[in-house]
A and B are shown apart, each in its own frame.
Chain A
Amino acid sequence: MQQLTPTHKLAVCLAAGVAVRLACFAIWPESLQRRPELTSPLTSFRSLQEGVFLFGKGDNPYTGGVFYYSPIYLAIFSHLQASPLLWVIADLMGALALSRIDTTRCSDDKGYKAAALYLFNPYILLSCLARSTAGLENAVLLWAICGRTTNDLLLSGTCLAFVSHTSIYPILLLPPLLKGLSSRQRAILAGAFAVVFGTIAAGNTLVFGSSWIRPTWGTILTVSDLTPNVGMWWYFFTEMFDHFRQFFLGVFQLHTAIYVLPVCLRIEDPLHATLILLGVISTWKSYPTLADLGVWAGLLGCFPEITANLRHPLFTLATYLHTFILLPLLHSLWLLTGTGNANFFYAATMVHGLNSALAVVDVVTAVMRFRLKKVVQWKDTYKAVQITAIE
């Protein structure tokens, strides 16, 4: 039998990923749509449908505390049938972006492993089944990173502007993506970002006035919807004393942004910096879902040099498996059967969040260790000569 070429392997991976998704959609069409682990109020398909329905009726969808989406989503889904196929295609595009990043960075790898890691990551697969819009945003985000890798800076800036507009936090990835470019290239990427971001914001304002800003960006920044999710914010701000609320909002938001500068200064490779900051965002954003971690894990798959230097990958994976079981269990104990209280689910999100935090730190140290090893390797040849001289 003829050996499969890497392109064929990639095609097989993608086809298998699509087939699994279509089969799952056929068997469980709607069962996961309301899982709090997979959808937040900002990414839930149910909210999106409700907003589109109200918009179609002629009501303002931004009243009522149901719809926090960017008006772009209204524009798209008022005309486009929200079929499951869209989410399958988004995952496919994400996998393609990852395989391109992988092949561009490491010439010896043909990209199918990164695509397979993304497509068969349970977090990504389940988010796709839940039709969380995080899946769509992740695909766009991956194309922003892919554009930077392949030096397609216009694509990178456009995609980053789009995804920053819908969920704000990716704006923190702009500095690492600009890192290591010539001033002309920087102008192209930043210009594309600014033009697209400004155009979308201006278009929204033209249609809705300023009424869309408070429910979309305002909700992300002030955490006014406290629906339970896997993040560290919702219970903290449910229990927060009123007079400290503003202070801690500032602390939590600044804490997420504070890593941008030191990471960009300390980590030489812009893609390494992007990877680390993506990990920080997916752990500490105000409405995280498992899809955010999934996209981070997918990107990590493109960096075999880092995964080889991780200190406790098995511990991290085992803890994720642990929380994967714990989160739905304790959520149902609190809200469905009523036998537990809110602390149960909070404890599970704590374990999950702490594990993500440790994983991010592990990646940072792995990057450092990799750099060190590279220097050592470089010096080895020089030293061999030196040792011979001493003898």
Chain B
Amino acid sequence: MTRLIYLLGLLAPWVAASLSADEFHEALTLHPLPDGKLSVLFEFTTYFSGSTGHGRTPESHHSLTSPSLLLPLQQNNVSELSISFVSGQWDQHRSGQAGPLSYGSGGGGGETRGWLRNSKGASPGKVNENWVAVTNALGGLFCATLAPAKEGEVVKTFGDIYPPSRETKQNLTHFHVPHPEQLLCAENLTPFLALLPSKGVSGLSHLLAQPGVVLSWGFKAEGIEVIMPDPSTATGGLWKGWWEGVVDLVPVTGGSRASSIEKLFRRSIPRVFPEASSSVIRLITPEQDNFRMEPQAGSREEQWLDGRKREVMVWDLMDGGLVGQDLRFWWENEGDFGHPLKLESSPISISRRMAAPYASDGTFVIRITNNGDDQRDAVYSEVWPWWVKGWMSEVSAAVESGETEGSSSELLRHLAYHPSYPPHPSTTSLHFSLTLPAHATLILTIPYSKLTIKYTEHRPDAERGVELPSGVLTLLDLEGESDFPNSTVIQSRRSGRTHIYTTRLLLDLPTPDFSMPYNVIIMSCTVMAVFFGMMQGALSRQWGYVDTAMERLRGRGKVTEGARRGAEMGPEGEGDTEKIS
């Protein structure tokens, strides 16, 4: 029930917006992390109506959204689409957060997901063609590879993991294409800015439009999420773009963490974008008493973040008082920042590594730690390329601590296994339904082997290895971020983060010697020819013998010339050889 209320709460502003004209909201969130770093998140949300005009040629009238984004989606029956690029590695342990603030970001590399409408009467392959078409179009827009290299690489079993964000009567198909090798880079930022109505010229996007600054940050994530208008329920659409980076606040030479907008972006707070309906800067205050800000925030909110109640300071830029100013924050009486010896961990953390990583096989070891007081329900999902074959009969789940709090079947309730179809390019996807006991680490082990693939199927840099997409842990029992009365300070289910990602893995394949094709063909064929020749010789030769006893009698112990020739030539030879057939 509480989840439903939460869902309605989320949907309310959007339903309201769908009735009015297009709207644009922007927000910049600063989140100081306990390890001396700062997470910076830009969010740009545009609501748009679903009007397509009534002329003979359908045309869309969007005042704030670029048609280059919406037209391919309309053309290809897209209901929802999400693209994310991530580079760098999120440190769950040091940050105390299970992932970045942008919950839509994937685990590593590129990722494209979407729900497509199945058009009535069209062939079943039509929706697949639509997916390839729309990912190709947006791949061109973002200067990145988003489409599957081969059709078999599309994963269709993640619909339950990423459900549609709104109720619909339409018949939808889910698509998921991970591109773990596709890192966020400079080419992806410019198209992102071009999609925004403010184009990086005014408003908060003016701070972002500095590739030299934002691309030098450590962890970076960029993404868009589009929800298209639904004609069946007459709701409008929205699209949200985000950009997140992690900055090190502590100078290289050591010192305090004191920082400001000007120090971060080398610009003061810019003029508000005239079309924006709201424009705010938010700061999630760290849980330390000596934290100070200047100027003081206009308002104050409370939010549950990864199971902890946090105070959020909000500065509204719409009143114009902050334009051209700076926003500073610091820790009072802080000399040199000392890295904390003890870090508070997030309620759920996850890591994946390989045990016994030989070139031919190995074992994935996934450690999921539940630090909360409650038992949790979750689904852990993996996607593998076709040449990784898992041994499902050997999968095991166990609790790390000495005392086992349940059998393997209680921890691993269900395993949905969707195998690939070797030798055709395809993907294996796995969904493990897990029970995570409180204050315990669950260890999931998945033994796997790697198929030997043809030398033509290897990538050009085969010796480097191939990235495996991140594993996803989906939490099934979240209660949302909004503050409810009578909730305590720590409650692990109070979070909006549904998905927790592991890092990517680099897998090396057993490689043949790429310079050897001719040699191998020649040598193997030689062995075959030698065998064939010897068999042919042995089977077709007539076997004869020289009767030395007879020769002794006739030639006094000497074998005659004719007899010797006969022995060499077989029974057709002249002389006194015996013919035996």
A387:B451 contact, CB within 8 angstroms: no
Interface pick from B253-261, B399-407, B421-429: B421-429
B520 at interface by CB-CB < 8 Å: yes
Other-chain contact of B528, A232, A234, A235, A239 (Cβ < 8 Å) = A232
12 A-B contact pairs sorted by A residue (CB < 8 Å): A53-B392, A57-B392, A65-B451, A226-B454, A227-B452, A228-B452, A228-B510, A239-B517, A241-B456, A342-B512, A364-B539, A379-B578
A360:B531 contact, CB within 8 angstroms: yes
B553 contact set on A, CB distance < 8 A: 387, 390-391
Rounded to whole Å, the gap between the CB of B53 and the closest CB of chain A is 47
Other-chain contact of B455, A59, A224, A239 (Cβ < 8 Å) = A239
Other-chain contact of B389, A52, A64, A283, A338 (Cβ < 8 Å) = A64
A226:B453 contact, CB within 8 angstroms: yes
B residues 523-541 in Cβ contact with A at 8 Å = 523-524, 527-528, 530-532, 534-536, 538-541
- Residue interface mask B139-183, A partner, CB < 8 A = 1: 000000000000000000000000000000000000000000000
A240:B521 contact, CB within 8 angstroms: yes
A57 contact set on B, CB distance < 8 A: 392, 417
A346:B550 contact, CB within 8 angstroms: no
Nearest-CB residue, chain B, relative to A235: B520
* A334-B359 contact in complex given A66-B389, A390-B553, C-beta closer than 8 Å: yes
B521 contact set on A, CB distance < 8 A: 236, 239-240, 248
Task: Give Cα A263–Cα B535 distance, bound, in whole angstroms.
Answer: 9
A335:B360 contact, CB within 8 angstroms: yes
User: Chain A CB within 10 Å — which of B455, B549, B580 has the most?
Assistant: B455
Which 6 interchain pairs have the tightest Cβ spacing? A64-B419, A65-B422, A53-B393, A357-B531, A226-B452, A335-B360
- Residue interface mask A351-377, B partner, CB < 8 A = 1: 001100110110011001101100110
B1 at interface by CB-CB < 8 Å: no
A369:B520 contact, CB within 8 angstroms: no
* A232-B524 contact in complex given A238-B452, A361-B531, A361-B535, C-beta closer than 8 Å: yes
A65:B452 contact, CB within 8 angstroms: no
- Residue interface mask B535-555, A partner, CB < 8 A = 1: 110111101110101100100
A108 at interface by CB-CB < 8 Å: no
B516 at interface by CB-CB < 8 Å: yes
Q: Which residues does A use to contact B, with CB under 8 Å?
A: 34, 46, 49-50, 52-54, 57, 59, 63-66, 224-228, 232, 234-242, 248, 252, 255, 259, 262-263, 266, 280, 283-284, 334-336, 338, 341-343, 346, 350, 353-354, 357-358, 360-361, 364-365, 368-369, 371-372, 375-376, 379, 383, 387, 390-391
A369 contact set on B, CB distance < 8 A: 543
Nearest-CB residue, chain A, relative to B422: A65
Nearest-CB residue, chain B, relative to A228: B452
B520:A346 contact, CB within 8 angstroms: yes
Task: Give Cα A63–Cα B389 distance, bound, in whole angstroms.
Answer: 11
Rounded to whole Å, the gap between the CB of B521 and the closest CB of chain A is 7
Task: Give Cα A61–Cα B524 distance, bound, in whole angstroms.
Answer: 34
B511 at interface by CB-CB < 8 Å: yes
Rounded to whole Å, the gap between the CB of B31 and the closest CB of chain A is 42
B451:A225 contact, CB within 8 angstroms: yes
Task: Give Cα A266–Cα B393 distance, bound, in whole angstroms.
Answer: 50
B386 at interface by CB-CB < 8 Å: yes
A64:B420 contact, CB within 8 angstroms: yes
B530 contact set on A, CB distance < 8 A: 354, 357
B528:A375 contact, CB within 8 angstroms: no
A259:B422 contact, CB within 8 angstroms: no
Rounded to whole Å, the gap between the CB of A269 and the closest CB of chain B is 14
Rounded to whole Å, the gap between the CB of A288 and the closest CB of chain B is 14
Nearest-CB residue, chain A, relative to B456: A242
Other-chain contact of B454, A34, A238, A336, A383 (Cβ < 8 Å) = A238
Task: Give Cα A255–Cα B452 distance, bound, in whole angstroms.
Answer: 24
A66 contact set on B, CB distance < 8 A: 389, 391, 419
B455 contact set on A, CB distance < 8 A: 238-239
* A224-B543 contact in complex given A236-B520, A334-B359, A364-B535, C-beta closer than 8 Å: no
Task: Give Cα A346–Cα B519 distance, bound, in whole angstroms.
Answer: 11
B561 at interface by CB-CB < 8 Å: no
B6 at interface by CB-CB < 8 Å: no
Other-chain contact of A226, B451, B539, B578 (Cβ < 8 Å) = B451
B512 contact set on A, CB distance < 8 A: 235, 238-239, 341-342
Task: Give Cα A81–Cα B294 distance, bound, in whole angstroms.
Answer: 74
B291 at interface by CB-CB < 8 Å: no
A224:B389 contact, CB within 8 angstroms: no
A336:B391 contact, CB within 8 angstroms: no
* A368-B527 contact in complex given A54-B417, A343-B516, A387-B553, C-beta closer than 8 Å: no
- Residue interface mask B103-140, A partner, CB < 8 A = 1: 00000000000000000000000000000000000000
B516:A239 contact, CB within 8 angstroms: yes
B484 at interface by CB-CB < 8 Å: no
* A361-B452 contact in complex given A354-B527, A376-B545, C-beta closer than 8 Å: no
Task: Give Cα A142–Cα B419 distance, bound, in whole angstroms.
Answer: 37
Task: Give Cα A290–Cα B33 distance, bound, in whole angstroms.
Answer: 60
Task: Give Cα A127–Cα B523 distance, bound, in whole angstroms.
Answer: 29
Rounded to whole Å, the gap between the CB of A327 and the closest CB of chain B is 14
B539:A262 contact, CB within 8 angstroms: yes
B386 contact set on A, CB distance < 8 A: 65
- Residue interface mask B403-444, A partner, CB < 8 A = 1: 000000000000001011111000010000000000000000
- Residue interface mask B63-75, A partner, CB < 8 A = 1: 0000000000000
Given A63-B419, A283-B531, A360-B531, 15 new contacts (CB under 8 A): A65-B422, A66-B389, A228-B510, A235-B524, A236-B521, A255-B528, A284-B528, A334-B359, A354-B527, A354-B530, A357-B534, A368-B541, A372-B544, A379-B578, A391-B553
Task: Give Cα A236–Cα B454 distance, bound, in whole angstroms.
Answer: 10
B513 at interface by CB-CB < 8 Å: yes
B543:A368 contact, CB within 8 angstroms: yes
A353 contact set on B, CB distance < 8 A: 527
A342:B513 contact, CB within 8 angstroms: yes
A350 contact set on B, CB distance < 8 A: 523-524, 527
A227 contact set on B, CB distance < 8 A: 451-452
Other-chain contact of B517, A241, A354, A361 (Cβ < 8 Å) = A241
Nearest-CB residue, chain B, relative to A226: B452
